[in-house]
Structure 1
Amino acid sequence: MNLFYKHATCLLITLSFISITYAQTAKIKGTVIEKGNKPVEAATVLLLHLPDSVKSGIQITDEKGRYQFENIRPGQYLIKVAAINYHRVSSQLFKVEKTAVSVPEIMLEQQINTLKEVSISYKQAVIAEKSDRTVVDVEQMNTTGDDALEVLKKAPGIHLDKDENIVMKGRTGVNVMIDGKMSYMTGTDLTAYLKSLPADVISKIELMSSPPSSFDAAGSAGIINIKLKRNKMKGMNGNLNLGAGYGKYPKANGGINLNYNTGKLSTYMRVNTGYSNSYNRLVLNRTIDNTQMDLVNLWRPITKSVGYTVGADYFLNDRHTFGIIVNGAENPYTTDGYSNSVSYDAQHNITEKVNSKNPQKNTSGNYAYNLNYRFQIDTSGRVLGVDADYVSYNNSRNEHYINTYYRADNSVIGDPVQLRNSGSGAVSIYSFKLDYVHPFSKTFKAEAGLKTSWVSTQNDVRFDSLKTTGWINAINRTNTFLYNEHINATYITATKSFKSLELKGGLRAEQTLGNGTSSSTNTLINRKYWQLFPTFFATWKVDTSNTLNAKYARRINRPNYSNLNPFTLYSDPYTAIQGNPLLLPELSNNIELTYSYKNFRVLSLNYSRTTDVINPVIYQNDQTKESISIEQNLGSSTNIYIATGSPFNLFKWWNTNNEVSMAYDAVKSPVQGTQYNSSKVSWSASTENTFTLPKDYQLTLAAAYGSPSVSGLGRTLSYSQIDFGAKKIFMHKKATIAFKLRDIFDTAKYRTLLKYNNVNTYWQNEWESRRFSLSFSYKFGNMKIKTARDRKTGTTEEQGRVSN
């Protein structure tokens, strides 16, 4: 903490010095017009400080063509003006001293475009390789009618796994941010939100497989930041979307996105709701000595969800901006679960059967608050940012287990065994962070920051067993788990640009203090450790077409809070999961090399080595036939990933997005006292083809294939999928109706083999991969928009470790 207070004191001294010199400023105002003295509304006015041409401010003209810059320090300046359908214009040089400056009227001249010069064609995606991230310009992609999840699938190196979780460059565990702030959702909640977010509101996607030091070091796969569009002119705009689908059961969703800008105040609101009646089927075939057990689990969750985001930015003047963001989501769901297990002897004769019913009524929800402040210290580009966050997660479970045992002749063995569970969980996160940017010149910039966070978790499980006297508490199945964690972090980065080379390096230090207790096992957790996380990035623009990019980052992946809970939870009489309070964080070193020709990614090579790998290990009791999955630290894993492919136009009416990748995965670790070594080379390919037809019709055909691969202690079998889609754009390109049929041949099943020590299991997971959907989207209001103000809140890493 001494380091934290030391940095905070330095920042306060800096702010005090700024306040002394801050009064020596002036105001600049002026008007933009066209011929006939008609004011030009929504023109972009850029104020440049000379002689170094540093941007000192940017404004948008009002309905009378007026603009105004406040708190400008003395010096020499130039104004540049740009507007749609007008030629760009620069003002004469002028000097600012201590009095207000009125810039002479700036007149714009309209651009004359004849109809013959106008052509409508699909532009390929602009993919820019920056030193520390890949930026995809979604506004130049053909995404009308798509949702955010479908847009992500088109980004280079992005795939979805069996549960539609995001996989980036062959690695899972991606943190998703919206406008620089955490999405506040994980798993199915995040997937549902991305599906409800129309592509029309997305401006850019930033892919950071090796994020810079200004971001939390957590997350082995990196960060994706989705930047949304926001209102540029005064007034309101928005998007409305509705959808329905059917797999084995019906689904529906709807949402609205609104932006409203008054000039000084910019507000936005997003509300999404959904209904999902879904289906899952898990098949387990276990070989135990000379016997076999076949287990089939069916569960049918019905979810009614609602999520919202409300935010506002108040621009006090050109230098001071205050913001507030409120997020929330509620996901009540009921589940009808069924399980049927059959045991066979060596001659494959039935020896025993167990039927289980597990009706559930559960809820999960979260809400979050973010207060932020941005201070443009002076015209040189020095900026101070402050964020304060509070996030709360909660869930409750009410379950009833009814287990009926049968002999081989189907006669019942005794009375059914009944258990019920009333459980709850809560996570609270507090965070505060400071970020400071200091440009020393046009080509050299440094950044520094501090962050501190506090996390408090509580998980309660109470099982009751039905006896002849009524419901009796099952002490061996009841537990309260408490865990508290405090993380302090500080970082510094430096960026230096040369003529064709950009270098960026950084170092982040994180201190972790954690303690936890379990009432049933009397387990105590006491964690105290700190780590250093260096990063390095280099981008060489060989010429206007060829770019080489290199990245290095050290990352950490701390255990989910629930994985530290040592209590055992059964999903059926023979299958259970158990946490591990001795889990250590896994550490990885990642190296990436990328070569791009214009917007085409010719080659991407990634190398990652992870130690203390967190992975579930199955402990099987051959006598009771129980299998308990416990998260443990394995030795090490290695991943090498090579890929090529990007979207491009074969013809004006045919756009194709293709990717071919190859991976080498290896795991080396002692498992239950025996050395386990597994490695395999795998490959995958995907293609998506969009055909633009007359009268604004479009057809899409996509296919994907993945070969067998290594995943943890399992060997995953191959998968394949073919999708078809059609859409129609109408109402002056404001409305879209789209139809999609996913996994036409119902081949997208997740299959894996687990074989180590006495474990020999075949696992097959099926879900509603074959389904169709019909969606409608409509955009309204003033559609002249810009990217939202980027906010990176202080609870990114902590929220990624919350699991429902």
Structure 2
Amino acid sequence: MPRFIFSLYCLTLLSNLTLFPLNAAYSQSFALSGQVRSSTDSQPLAGVQVILESYSSPVRSHDAVSQSDGRFSFEKINEGLYRLSLSHVGYQTLVTDSIRCYSSRMDLGKLSLLAYSQTLNEVVIRTKKPVIYYESDRFRVDVQAMHTRGDQALDLLQRIPGVKLEQSGDLSLQGKMNVLVYINGKQSYLTGSALLSYLKSLSAGDIASIDFLPTPPSSYDAAGSGGVIDIHLNQRSEDGYSVNTSLSITPLARTRSGLSTMTTIRKGRWQGYGQWGADYSPSFEIETTNRQTQNHRMDQISQQLTRPKGFSSLMGLSYQRSPHEVLGLDGKLMQQWTTRQTESQLSQEGSINPVYVNRQDNHQSQAQSGALHAFYKRTLDTLGSTLTLDGDYYHIKSDQKDWFSNFYTMGSAPEFRFDSRQNLLRSSTLYAFKADWIKKTAFATLESGVKTGQVTNTNVVNQDSLLGSDQRPIVGYANAFTYREHIQAFYVSLQKPFGPLDLKVGVRYEHTQGFDDTRQLVHRQYGYLFPSASLMVRPGTHQLTFSYRKSIIRPVYTNLNPFSYYTDSYTLQAGNPALKPALAQIAEFNYVVNNTRLLTVNYIYLKDATLDVFTYDPLRQVSKSSPQSIGQLQTWYIATGQALQLNKVGR
């Protein structure tokens, strides 16, 4: 199998060699070395942990350990700006910023570590590489330092402090919903069940690190109040290839299983990866619903069995045209199938003749999605300044079918049956292009960029009821609706260190135009400024961070539909074309000591939030839910401690 995959990749690479010039030079490699000594007696220190982190690619770092003579070295590193960190038991950690690597072999000379003044008697100290790194606007989890054997990506995320899978099936970050998920620094555009299916089919062993941004800077889209989760997959740093396969089986009452295969390859200036995954996660739920309206009471008990199956495939290929240029293409395909069977017993009291109903619902749905992402990145100088161009295409379509069967019993009257069915078709297509420019100096970092995108969303609902032996449409409920949205954005930000202080400020402007094809139901445009700021203070081993961000939550496209559809025989979900965008003000404070979080306080104020308003039709005996822009919400999130299970007992 590995030989077949390797051969397949070779054929792909050879077929594309003619697209780019072959005379581009390979990246020039550099070497960096130095010697660590004790400041007390100037003797060499052995066993010092040395970490070299590139400013242009902070996800990937180089590790080394000093030898008996105190010397350490890094070979085959790229030209650019680096941060060097030296740590050793009994000594204070030394961090040196803005090390510029510009010659083939650089020697940093002698570096001294300051010893702690305390004297300890017969103490055994065990150290390990930190799993979580806290920065001014994010915290990063080094997945490679964790024990994740057999875990899915979703399992891994739920072990991170502040991350939770809500009952609705959505991820929340520090109590905030509307979380955006990025993969390798690029927005995935996955939400809801599609996102969960992908996270279940991705093995945690295929992940290198994860960035969590509760208050993202202005370089990220203003949409969403929940922050950003950026998943970085494993990549090779040397020529060769690897294949990693993971199979997980959870022996519950209804067995769950997942299969994931990750292939990475690097050959000279070419680098590629492929990830394939499948997941099957059945679930069973019992739900009790009680409705009370005036003199009528309706009690319902439902048993629901859901069988979702999903398949995902990701492939990427990049090519380094020169030491300063990289371009590539990523593709993604996903397929989901879901069946759900529900049996309910319903009783209605308050009328002359009580009504008892046995209800059977059958749900079948399938969804397909595909995405393409092309990028070009050019390094502008040795400090790591870059220009990046990105283009995205994303398309998803789904077909949902529901059958409702109701068996009525009313007093002494004979039992009769009423059937209905529903078909919901949805599709969304997105195009986006953006350009980002980062200028780095030894004193500050300036970022700027533009983005434009457009979305077309179409919904078609067909509903029929079996009143006799023939299908007849319900007037006013079978409909089609197409909504289009164009967004243009511009941002600028500045990051400047002041000794133990690190300040980053930015502002983003986004203009939105949305309309339906008739321009009668929906036709609006609006523009807002979205400021952001973060401040980090490092007095010794203490770290305090303050951050602020303004964001926007645009109406969910399906909520703008001017028609209704059934979620069950007695519940309708209606749309509202008059929904407005909600604006959020987000502030956060973090206190960290020795890279361990002691306190997090997060506050959100949300204006014009979308809330569901429920009404009841006593004639049709149907509850109707309709979204309205009427909410003003305030949310506080307070957490202490670092409740992260770093290692697990072997299974």
Measured against the shorter chain, the TM-score band is 0.7 to 0.9
Contact 2:147 2:646 in 1 (8 A): no
**Matching residue's letter, 1:474:** I
Instruction: Report the counterpart of residue 730 of structure 1 in structure 2.
Output: none
CA positional deviation for 1:170: 1.4
Contact 1:325 1:370 in 2 (8 A): yes
Do structure 1's residue 389 and structure 2's residue 385 form an aligned pair? no
Instruction: Report the counterpart of residue 422 of structure 1 in structure 2.
Output: 423
Contact 1:398 1:420 in 2 (8 A): yes
Instruction: Report the counterpart of residue 170 of structure 1 in structure 2.
Output: 175
Partner SS, residue 582 of structure 1? coil
Do structure 1's residue 355 and structure 2's residue 358 form an aligned pair? yes
> Counterparts of 1:294 and 1:78 in 2: how far apart (Å)?
67
Instruction: Report the counterpart of residue 636 of structure 1 in structure 2.
Output: 632
**Matching residue's letter, 1:404:** F
> Counterparts of 2:547 and 2:51 in 1: how far apart (Å)?
36
**Matching residue's letter, 1:438:** K
Note closer, same or farther for the CA distance 1:168–1:81 as it changes in structure 2 (3 Å cut).
closer
Do structure 1's residue 240 and structure 2's residue 245 form an aligned pair? yes
Partner SS, residue 195 of structure 1? helix
Instruction: Report the counterpart of residue 405 of structure 1 in structure 2.
Output: 408
Note closer, same or farther for the CA distance 1:452–1:640 as it changes in structure 2 (3 Å cut).
same
Alignment partner for residue 529 of structure 2, among 524, 528, 532?
532
Partner SS, residue 316 of structure 1? strand
Do structure 1's residue 570 and structure 2's residue 571 form an aligned pair? no
> Counterparts of 1:78 and 1:516 in 2: how far apart (Å)?
49
Contact 2:164 2:172 in 1 (8 A): yes
Deviations along 1:273-323, one digit per CA (max 9) or x if unpaired, are: 122333233210112224321122333232332101000111112111001
Alignment partner for residue 199 of structure 1, among 196, 201, 204?
204
Do structure 1's residue 154 and structure 2's residue 151 form an aligned pair? no
> Counterparts of 2:81 and 2:476 in 1: how far apart (Å)?
75
Partner SS, residue 144 of structure 1? coil
Note closer, same or farther for the CA distance 1:30–1:433 as it changes in structure 2 (3 Å cut).
closer
Partner SS, residue 381 of structure 1? coil
Contact 1:54 1:442 in 2 (8 A): no
Partner SS, residue 612 of structure 1? strand
> Counterparts of 1:240 and 1:122 in 2: how far apart (Å)?
31
Partner SS, residue 308 of structure 1? strand
> Counterparts of 1:607 and 1:78 in 2: how far apart (Å)?
36
Instruction: Report the counterpart of residue 509 of structure 1 in structure 2.
Output: 509
Partner SS, residue 211 of structure 1? coil
Contact 2:81 2:383 in 1 (8 A): no
**Matching residue's letter, 1:552:** Y
Contact 2:310 2:337 in 1 (8 A): yes
Contact 2:25 2:322 in 1 (8 A): no
Deviations along 1:546-595, one digit per CA (max 9) or x if unpaired, are: 01100010011111110111211123332111111111111110111111
> Counterparts of 2:562 and 2:32 in 1: how far apart (Å)?
70
Note closer, same or farther for the CA distance 1:418–1:68 as it changes in structure 2 (3 Å cut).
closer
Greater Cα offset, 489-498 or 329-338: 329-338
Q: Which runs of 5+ in 1 are unaligned?
A: 1-24, 35-43, 83-93, 107-118, 648-656, 658-687, 691-697, 700-726, 728-737, 739-804
Deviations along 1:445-486, one digit per CA (max 9) or x if unpaired, are: 111000000101111111233354622333322110110000
CA positional deviation for 1:491: 0.4
Q: Looking at both structures, which has the greater relative contact order when contacts are Cα pairs under 8 Å and sequence separation is at least 6?
A: 1
**Matching residue's letter, 2:447:** E
Instruction: Report the counterpart of residue 434 of structure 1 in structure 2.
Output: 435
Compute the TM-score of the two structures, normalised by the length of structure 1: 0.65
Instruction: Report the counterpart of residue 44 of structure 2 in structure 1.
Output: none
Alignment partner for residue 544 of structure 2, among 544, 548, 553?
548
Alignment partner for residue 349 of structure 2, among 339, 344, 358?
344
Contact 1:184 1:327 in 2 (8 A): no
Alignment partner for residue 292 of structure 2, among 283, 287, 290?
287
Note closer, same or farther for the CA distance 1:30–1:81 as it changes in structure 2 (3 Å cut).
farther
CA positional deviation for 1:345: 2.9
> Counterparts of 1:199 and 1:532 in 2: how far apart (Å)?
38
**Matching residue's letter, 2:278:** T
Do structure 1's residue 604 and structure 2's residue 605 form an aligned pair? no
Note closer, same or farther for the CA distance 1:547–1:452 as it changes in structure 2 (3 Å cut).
same
Note closer, same or farther for the CA distance 1:524–1:641 as it changes in structure 2 (3 Å cut).
same
Structure 1 residue ranges (4+ consecutive) displaced by more than 6 angstroms after TM superposition = 25-28, 30-34, 44-48, 65-69, 77-82, 119-122
CA positional deviation for 1:124: 6.9
Alignment partner for residue 304 of structure 1, among 300, 309, 332?
309
Contact 2:604 2:636 in 1 (8 A): yes
Greater Cα offset, 545-554 or 393-402: 393-402
Q: Which runs of 5+ in 2 are unaligned?
A: 1-23, 34-49, 63-73, 86-99, 108-123
Note closer, same or farther for the CA distance 1:455–1:499 as it changes in structure 2 (3 Å cut).
same
Instruction: Report the counterpart of residue 465 of structure 1 in structure 2.
Output: 465
Partner SS, residue 327 of structure 1? strand
Contact 1:339 1:572 in 2 (8 A): no
CA positional deviation for 1:138: 2.4
**Matching residue's letter, 1:537:** S
> Counterparts of 1:410 and 1:124 in 2: how far apart (Å)?
74
> Counterparts of 2:442 and 2:27 in 1: how far apart (Å)?
24
> Counterparts of 1:170 and 1:47 in 2: how far apart (Å)?
31
Contact 1:54 1:379 in 2 (8 A): no
**Matching residue's letter, 2:586:** N
Do structure 1's residue 143 and structure 2's residue 148 form an aligned pair? yes
Greater Cα offset, 131-140 or 496-505: 131-140
**Matching residue's letter, 2:407:** T
Contact 1:454 1:485 in 2 (8 A): yes
| Equivalent residue runs for 1:76-87 within 5 Å | none
| Equivalent residue runs for 1:204-283 within 5 Å | 204-283=209-288
Instruction: Report the counterpart of residue 489 of structure 1 in structure 2.
Output: 489
Contact 1:385 1:436 in 2 (8 A): yes
**Matching residue's letter, 1:529:** Y
What is the count of residue pairs matched by the alignment? 570
Instruction: Report the counterpart of residue 451 of structure 2 in structure 1.
Output: 451
Deviations along 1:123-166, one digit per CA (max 9) or x if unpaired, are: 37433221211222223333333332222223232222224532
CA positional deviation for 1:32: 7.8
Greater Cα offset, 298-307 or 596-605: 298-307
Partner SS, residue 152 of structure 1? helix
> Counterparts of 1:473 and 1:641 in 2: how far apart (Å)?
48
Instruction: Report the counterpart of residue 694 of structure 1 in structure 2.
Output: none
Note closer, same or farther for the CA distance 1:261–1:345 as it changes in structure 2 (3 Å cut).
same
Alignment partner for residue 615 of structure 1, among 611, 617, 636?
611
Contact 1:289 1:622 in 2 (8 A): no
> Counterparts of 1:329 and 1:47 in 2: how far apart (Å)?
35
| Equivalent residue runs for 1:40-189 within 5 Å | 123=128, 125-189=130-194
Contact 1:45 1:67 in 2 (8 A): no
> What is the RMSD of the two structures over their aligned residues, measured on CA atoms?
3.6
Do structure 1's residue 367 and structure 2's residue 370 form an aligned pair? yes
Instruction: Report the counterpart of residue 316 of structure 1 in structure 2.
Output: 321
CA positional deviation for 1:605: 1.1
Instruction: Report the counterpart of residue 778 of structure 1 in structure 2.
Output: none
Could you tell me the percent identity over the aligned residues?
Answer: 29
Contact 1:129 1:549 in 2 (8 A): no
Note closer, same or farther for the CA distance 1:183–1:31 as it changes in structure 2 (3 Å cut).
closer
Deviations along 1:343-386, one digit per CA (max 9) or x if unpaired, are: 1239xx97102233222332111100000000112334321100
Deviations along 1:307-343, one digit per CA (max 9) or x if unpaired, are: 0100011111211100110011001222323333211
Note closer, same or farther for the CA distance 1:47–1:400 as it changes in structure 2 (3 Å cut).
closer
Partner SS, residue 576 of structure 2? coil
Note closer, same or farther for the CA distance 1:548–1:403 as it changes in structure 2 (3 Å cut).
same
> Counterparts of 1:548 and 1:324 in 2: how far apart (Å)?
39
Contact 2:393 2:431 in 1 (8 A): yes
